Structure 1
Amino acid sequence: MPKTLRKLIGTVLIIVLVLVYAFLATMIASATLGNSHWSIHLLYFFLTGLLWILPAMGIIKWMEKPDRPKDRQG
């Protein structure tokens, strides 16, 4: 797969990842942290704010893989 196509697919995947992740993190927070102390909210959103980076890093590494050299036939 050419690098330009991987970059397009990866960009779309990262956008979808961020949207779905933010939605799920907010849903979980509103369902479980309603009456919690503000420090628990701070810790939760700090950790969930950083956690999305792990799958995004995997997508970015995949996007940046060099193209395979074409096989020479001759």
Structure 2
Amino acid sequence: MRTEPTLRISLGILGMLLGVAAYALVIARYVPDLIAGWHTLLQTMVYIVLGIVWILPLKRFLAWMETGRWR
């Protein structure tokens, strides 16, 4: 087991934070205009799905941060 962090982990965390911030800004900017006239329950479902979608690519990204390989 590694005792010291690598540069890859530090860059990975920074990249992950920037990616999530960019995703949140895009969602906050464009989605409300698209779904403003929808029923409240449908809007809630859209935001729940969008709140889960950003998690999907994290498995491979975290594996890369730990091992240096994408698989």
TM-score bracket, shorter-length normalisation: 0.7 to 0.9
**Residue in 1 that maps onto 2:7:** 5
**TM-score normalised to the size of structure 2?**
0.79
Q: Cα RMSD (Å) of the superposition?
A: 1.5
The number of equivalent residue pairs is 64
Specify which of 57, 62, 65 is matched with residue 60 of structure 1: 62
Deviations 1:4-53 (A, max 9, x none): 11100100011001100111112221220111111111111100000001
**TM-score normalised to the size of structure 1?**
0.76
SS in 1 for 2:67: coil
5 Å matches for 1:39-58?
Answer: 39-58=41-60
Structure 2 letter corresponding to 1:17: G
Percent of aligned positions that are identical: 25
Larger relative contact order (CA 8 Å, sep ≥ 6): 1
Structure 2 spans left out of the alignment, 5+ residues: none
